[in-house]
Structure 1
Amino acid sequence: MTSASDAPVRRVLLVEDDASIARFIDMALEDQGVDLTVCGDVESALAALQERPVGLVITDLMLPGLSGYDLVDRLHSEPALLAGAKVVIFSAGVNLDKQARLEGRGIWRILRKPASVAQLQACVLDAFVEHEVAPATLAVVPLEPAASSRVESDAVLAYFGGDVSLFRAYRAKCLVQFEHDLVAGDAALSSIDLAALQRLSHSLATVFRTLGWAEDGKVAKQLEVFAAEGDAQASATAWARLRPRLLG
């Protein structure tokens, strides 16, 4: 994406391995004058930062290989690599223990998944405001109230600012991505790669909530817990419950 010719380019690096979530952020920032680079893992993110500086780094914590914590530690220990960019943690389930682990690592803001279009746009705007002084303490953006039902119109209001067209465009892209997620989940379960299944279900929980599919989001969250506990049988049962949704 490129900004208008009379506006400064806002370079943002997104470290997110889930394609649906990355697309949501891309669509949310499309008209914000943002030059967005998306990396699916820490290694490629570090390479991107070495290639050119950015003004804002948005990273998930649960990533394949090295984690978001590893990335934060690396950037904190090598300020020249960060080059003054602000760092935002974009993750679900950021509790007090995780916040404490991030303290003292130069984190500018924590943005909880799922976030709305308005929250993402405000985050970028705040990051690039001229002469802004970073807060002395870690700022945590609260989770917006969950939709009161599974009706998709609630999700449109909660996460898309009432923009039905944007919601439908995002949903269409998700439905395409779900075909790939289905293959990835089946493969992970077949090979008993519960770590991969945990990452996938973690991302799907956020995507489902963004689409207003609250009950499916709960099942995905249960699957994440089962996979994290190493319970292959329970994981298989939960995955079987999710497959119909991914099949449309």
Structure 2
Amino acid sequence: MTNASVVPVRRVLLVEDDASIARFIDMALEDEGVDLTVCGDVESALAVLHKGPVGLVITDLMLPGLSGYDLVERLHSEPALLAGAKLVIFSAGVNLDKQARLEGRGIWRILRKPASVAQLQACVLEAFAGHDAAPPAEDVPAQPADPSSAESDAVLAYFGGDAALFRAYRAKCLVQFEHDLVAGDAALHAGDLAGLQRLSHSLSTVFRTLGWAEDGLVAKQLEALAASGDTQASATAWYQVRRRLVG
């Protein structure tokens, strides 16, 4: 039975299976007074919602098992689970077809990956405090950066100019890459192209957030190849992505 008690202040449920992206959101919101719960799949997210209300649900669309679309449909058919919370789609490549599929399903907002710290903070502030509390849409640099550097461009674009936050995030990503290597190799060995597709989908966002635009494009190519079922081409693309993860 869903708990209909008062929603805790700024309680946010994030449904995201990629640890690096979840960590980025956690770091972006750590000073915003947010009680963040992260679930890697739809089943565990539904279990959280059954236990008590949240004020904001942020979900990816590409997830292991049930998809984000499945979660949206479940919340639309059982509004008591959402209990008035705002529902945000956080995904890359949300085209017109995907938007049409989501239409009329109670989506409050669509955030496209990769989103900046400022965009995430603005989303949370507006969700909990109303339209009059949203900060400016553009990031304001907190520290000077070298505009000739792709890395510094990423600091400005996604971290509001906060180089220290960027470095902390990059360090955590480098640790996560070791796990991504194992997961990618295992998926390829098992012929699990769906798993390889999900991994490359996430890595394309992480790479772009780190300022690795070309590697992000390669990861997107791998995602498309895996989705098409081309095992040989997927293997070739994976080894290109793999070199970035190792290096």
Looking at structure 1, the residues matched to 243 and 165 of structure 2 have their Cα atoms a distance apart, in angstroms, of 25
Residues 170-209 of structure 1 mapped to structure 2, 5 A cutoff: 170-209=169-208
Residues 95-244 of structure 1 mapped to structure 2, 5 A cutoff: 95-130=95-130, 151-244=150-243
Match of 2:28?
28
- 1:166, distance to aligned residue in structure 2 (A): 0.3
| Other structure's SS at 1:187 match | helix
For structure 2, which runs of at least 5 residues remain unmatched after alignment?
Answer: 1-7, 139-146
Looking at structure 1, the residues matched to 171 and 49 of structure 2 have their Cα atoms a distance apart, in angstroms, of 31
- 1:149, distance to aligned residue in structure 2 (A): 7.5
- 1:197, distance to aligned residue in structure 2 (A): 0.1
Looking at structure 1, the residues matched to 228 and 180 of structure 2 have their Cα atoms a distance apart, in angstroms, of 21
Amino acid across the alignment from 2:25? I
Looking at structure 2, the residues matched to 149 and 26 of structure 1 have their Cα atoms a distance apart, in angstroms, of 29
Deviations 1:63-93 (A, max 9, x none): 0000000000000111111100000000000
* CA spacing shift, 1:149–1:212, aligned 2, 3 Å: farther
- 1:9, distance to aligned residue in structure 2 (A): 2.7
Looking at structure 1, the residues matched to 224 and 238 of structure 2 have their Cα atoms a distance apart, in angstroms, of 12
| Other structure's SS at 1:156 match | helix
Find runs of 4+ consecutive structure 1 residues off by over 6 angstroms.
none
Match of 1:136?
none
* Counterpart contact for 2:9–2:55, Cα < 8 Å: no
Looking at structure 2, the residues matched to 153 and 31 of structure 1 have their Cα atoms a distance apart, in angstroms, of 23
Looking at structure 1, the residues matched to 202 and 57 of structure 2 have their Cα atoms a distance apart, in angstroms, of 19
| Other structure's SS at 2:222 match | helix
Match of 2:14?
14
- 1:155, distance to aligned residue in structure 2 (A): 0.1
- 1:150, distance to aligned residue in structure 2 (A): 6.5
* Counterpart contact for 2:55–2:85, Cα < 8 Å: yes
Matched, 1:88 2:81: no
Amino acid across the alignment from 1:123? C
Deviates more, 1:148-157 or 1:194-203: 148-157
- 1:156, distance to aligned residue in structure 2 (A): 0.1
What's the TM-score once normalised by structure 1's chain length? 0.89
* CA spacing shift, 1:52–1:244, aligned 2, 3 Å: same
Amino acid across the alignment from 1:115? A
For structure 1, which runs of at least 5 residues remain unmatched after alignment?
Answer: 1-7, 134-140, 143-147
| Other structure's SS at 1:111 match | strand
Match of 1:44?
44
| Other structure's SS at 1:88 match | strand
What's the TM-score once normalised by structure 2's chain length? 0.89
* Counterpart contact for 1:150–1:215, Cα < 8 Å: no
| Other structure's SS at 2:87 match | strand
Deviations 1:173-211 (A, max 9, x none): 000000000000000000110000000000000000000
